[in-house]
Structure formats: structure tokens, C-alpha cells
Amino acid sequence: MFGKMKEYLSEELGKLHEQKLYKHERIIESPQGAEIIVKGKKVLNFCANNYLGLSSHADLIKAAHEEIDDRGYGLSSVRFICGTQDIHKVLEKKVSEFLGTEDTILFSSCFDANGAVFEPLLQENDAIITDALNHASIIDGIRLCKAQRWIYSHGNMSNEIGLDPSTDKELKGLEKCLIEANEKGCRFKMIATDGCFSMDGDIAKLDEIVALAEKYDALVMVDDSHSSGFMGKTGRGTHEFRGVMGKIDIITTTFGKALGGASGGCISGRKEIIDWMRNKARPYLFSNTVPPSTVGATIKVMDLLTASTELRDKLERNTMKFRNEMTAAGFDIIPGVHPIVAIMFGKYPDCSKLAVDFANKMLEDGIYVIAFSFPVVPRGMDRIRVQLSAGHSTENVSFAVEKFTKVGKELGMIK
């Protein structure tokens, strides 16, 4: 029975190979960290979401071991039957305190949290207004709910119409969408945005978004997966960075990036919304939650980050050092403050090939970075995306800049 599909898939897979779009997994033969082993060789890793260097942190490994010993390996149940332990409640409380929210509900991933969050809250007569560059899991979550949908051009707060750079389609600004949703008489309106957008490292203008939400009576949902733990003075996230803590109705985030790097996620926010999720969110009702080892380690993360800002401070120093030195070396980087640093290749001839060649040469020189081309980023916006970590030493960052400069000169990009 598989015959016809086999033929079809083989052909399509062949096309992906031809177009150089086939995804190859790179195999790491060591724990995750600033230094990893790839093909038997030690290299410095500059492309992980390991922002705080916690992925293989000794305290987390110990906490995970302890919780396996104390509370076992798994729960063999969803939360509301017999899958909730005391430690799940402890973690939910600590996450709420950290994010400055009223309550939190855990999910086995942020992808699940985003898949869960919209459908129970919004119906046909409601509006969801979403940034054009939002994460795939927000897009999927919105698809699962019946609300009317407005997509605003990335970061565009205006009440005008603009061009979307990736599709060249006309898209409205956020305020224009809110006005239209009001004119249609929508009952609830919800604005959904990533806190930080992972390709450019730009931060959502949450202060302006909150102001518009207040003006047009909308709720605000922020996915802070690329910011929880380090953005803002005490690392609470983009709501702290933009000065709107307590004003975001719903925050979703992952424990799979800065906050330990294993897995798990949550929805955090207004008490009644979280209560509703415990009764209606489908991935919560029909899927297991985070296992004890991960809960134990994530509780440890919350304790570490509440006790001291040392890690996020170090990440900030590494980020600014890298950004400043790369700019001084003559590279074209998207300005900002986030540890995602996009080094742009668009102004050079044959930029897609150049970016790939550049990344390959960097790996030969002991620096692991990745080139991104169409369709992951718009055509002509080819780039190498670097991600800094608190796990990097100052010397690691200097070494990376040195190698970028060397390869940049070899390839005729900088003088």
C-alpha cells in the first residue's frame, strides 16, 4: 500500500537534496556546552540556545539525580488523574514568582503550551492579532482555534498598511488590525507576539503593544522562549526589559533554552486564565507533563536565577563584547542587545554560498556556527546567526571574533 507514497516521497526528498534544503543533523559526541565534540574534534559552540550555560551545569545534574531518587523516573499519568507531584506545584509557584505572574501551568514543551493556549479562550466571534514573524508553534496554536485572524507586519505598530519583507504581501500594522477587529464587533481581542524574534534577535515593543492593548481593550500574549532567564535587569524576560511586568496577560515560555535546556514549558499569567487551562487545555488533559528529573533541575534553575543575576550579567557582557568587536571589525550585524547576533551577508555577491562557505571555514577553525538562507530567512537576507552564552569565557568570545575576522578577510568581506 505504501508504493505510491514511497515513490512520491522519494521524489520530493530528492528535490530537497537538489535544492540544498535537506536537513542534515549534526552529531555531537559530548554533553552540550560552550565546548563540544563534533566528529571527534573539540569546537566552541556558538549556535545553541544554552544562553546561561546551564545545559550541563553540575548543580542541575545533581538536582535531576536527586529527584529521580526521590520521586522516580516517570508518572505514567496525565496531571489530573495521578500525574501531579508536590514538586510540580513547587515549580509552578517558583515560575510564577520569577515571571511576576499570578499562576503557572506546566506543559511538556512550549510547543504544547502554544498549542494549548488559544483554543480554550477564543471563539468565532473573537479576534487574534498576530505578528507576521511569530514562531511556528504560535501559528499552529492559532490554527487550532476558531477565532478570526489578523496578521500584522512584523513589529509594525501603526494603523497603516505595509509590505511584508518575506512575502512581499501587503500587511497591516497592529493598530489597524485592532481597529478592524473593533469594527467587526469582536468580543475578545488578543495580541500574540514572540518576546524576541529568533532570526534577527530583535525584541518586541511590548511597551507600545501594551499601550495599544489598553487603548483597544485587548489582551496580550507573549512567548518569551528566547528571553526568559536573561532579558531585563534581573532576567525575568522581555516584559521586564520593556518595563511592562504585571501587564502581560499570558506568558508562554520553554525550559528547553536558557532555563536548563532539557525540555518542558509553561503558560503563566492571570489566575483565571491558568485555572481555565487546567480544565480545558487539551495537551494538559491528554498528555503527560514534565518528568520529576526535569522538574527538579528546573526548580534549581529558578533558585539559581533568583539568588543572583551573575549568569545573565555575564551573558550581557559577552554579548556586548561580541557585538562591539564584530562591528569594529567591519561586519554587517543587526544592531541590538540580544545574545542572538545576525551577521548579514546580503551585500556581498553570491551571498548564500558565501555564508555556507564561511560557516564551514569557521568549523575548520574550531568555531561552530550555522548559516541560514531562504526559506528560513527572506531571500538576500542570508546570515550566520551567532548565539552567545554565559558558558563562554571572555577568551572564547575573543577567539570567535578573531576567527570571524580571519575568515572574513580570506573571503574578501572585510579589510
Ligand X SMILES: *Cc1c(COP(=O)(O)O)cnc(C)c1O
Active site residues: 198, 226, 257
From 33-41, 107-115, 146-154, 208-216, give the range in contact with ligand X by CB under 6 A: 107-115
Binding mask 2-21 for ligand X (x = CB under 6 A): --------------------
To the nearest whole angstrom, how small is the minimum distance from the Cβ of residue 29 to ligand X? 22
Nearest CA to 332 out of 321, 350, 348 is that of 348
Helix%, strand%, coil% for the chain, nearest 5: 40, 15, 40
Place of cell 528535490: 15
**Bridge partner list, 341:** 386
Whose Cβ is closer to ligand X: residue 387's or residue 405's? Answer: 387
Could you tell me the strand order of the sheet in which 383-387 lies? 340-344, 383-387, 370-372
Listed residue (2, 42, 6) closest to 365, CA to CA: 42
Q: Which of 55, 85, 137, 389 binds ligand X (CB under 6 A)?
A: 137
Region of 164-172, 180-188, 220-228, 305-313 interacting with ligand X (CB under 6 A): 220-228
Residue 148 Cβ, how far from ligand X at the closest point, in Å?
A: 23
Strand partners, 267: 105, 252
Q: Which is nearer to ligand X, 104 or 137 (CB)?
A: 137
CB atoms within 10 A of CB 19: 10
Backbone angles phi, psi at 101, to 5 degrees: -115, 175
Q: Toward ligand X, which CB reaches closer, 199 or 411? A: 199
CA separation for the pair 214, 220 (Å, rounded): 10
- The least distance separating ligand X from the CB of residue 248, rounded to whole angstroms, comes to 15
Our CB check for ligand X shows the closer of 265 and 391 to be 265
Let me know: does 229 contact 51? Beta carbons within 8 Å: yes
Q: Determine if 254 is a binding residue for ligand X (CB under 6 A).
A: yes
222 vs 355, beta carbon nearer ligand X:
222
Q: Which stretch binds ligand X (CB under 6 A): 108-116, 185-193, 233-241, 303-311?
A: 108-116
The least distance separating ligand X from the CB of residue 13, rounded to whole angstroms, comes to 25
Amino acid at site 134: N
Q: Which contacts (CB < 8 Å, 24+ apart) does range 346-355 have? A: 346/380, 346/381, 346/382, 346/383, 348/413, 351/380, 351/382, 352/382, 354/382, 354/411, 354/413, 355/382, 355/383, 355/384
Residues 166-205: x/- map of binding to ligand X (CB under 6 A)?
----------------------------x---x-------
Q: Whole-angstrom Cα distance, residue 62 to residue 302?
A: 15
> Please, which residue, 372 or 404, has the CB nearer to ligand X?
372
Site residue total, ligand X (CB under 6 A) = 14
Choose one: 71-79, 81-89, 105-113, 397-405; the region binding ligand X (CB under 6 A): 105-113
- Binding positions for ligand X, rule: CB under 6 A: 109-111, 114, 135, 137, 194, 198, 223, 225-226, 254, 256, 265
